[in-house]
A = this chain, B = another copy of it.
Amino acid sequence: MDALDRVVEQFSSLPTIGKKTARRLAFHLLRQSQESVDEFATAIVQMRSQVRECATCHTFTDQDCCTICSSAKRDRTVICVVEQPSDVLAIERTSEYQGLYHVLHGTINPLDGVGPDEIRLRELVSRLGGGLVELILALNPTIEGEVTTQYIAKVAAPFQLKLTRIARGVPVGADLEFADDATLRKAIEGRVPL
């Protein structure tokens, strides 16, 4: 059945979904009504056509400017730099941060041919002037995240901002015994007074 195989193939192309799960999802949809399957398909198409990047911070939004950038309550003297729009959601869930964001949509990765111009770095630099006081770097603790963090530190140097990065250490609830060496080293290095 070509029609079924095509859907299995489409689902398999999504992250975390293997062939077996893809088949299970397709069979699940076959048991639903045509109307609810149409609704599913329409939701996907509408999302892709309505959601775009915020003109300022480049997170996903269905407006020209996202709700965070356009909010009067946010602290405009701080920008937190992240890799992906999903990172914005993760930090927002903590209710810990009141500043603005900047989404790079990736990291510098020479091996994959991703240079500074392929991510939203120029757009970040254009936001560094004005009343900005602090730039928080919240990229993933990976080699690419590190390279990108260092690159941003260099291009941001002339603006004389307070440059910070989020803490790296032992995750809350984790067991010291099972923490990897690199994490434990960063946790000791970054120790804070009691």
Contact = CB atoms under 8 A, between A and B. Distances in A.
Given A28-B14, A48-B34, A7 B62 contact: no
A122 interface: no
Given A3-B51, A48-B37, A25 B15 contact: yes
Interface residues of A, number: 44
B15 A24 contact: yes
Contacts of A47: 3-4, 6-7, 26, 29-30
A62 B2 contact: yes
If over half of A's interface residues share one DSSP class (helix, strand or loop), that class is named, otherwise mixed; here it is: helix
Contacts of A89: 23
Nearest to A33: B48
A41 interface: yes
B41 A7 contact: no
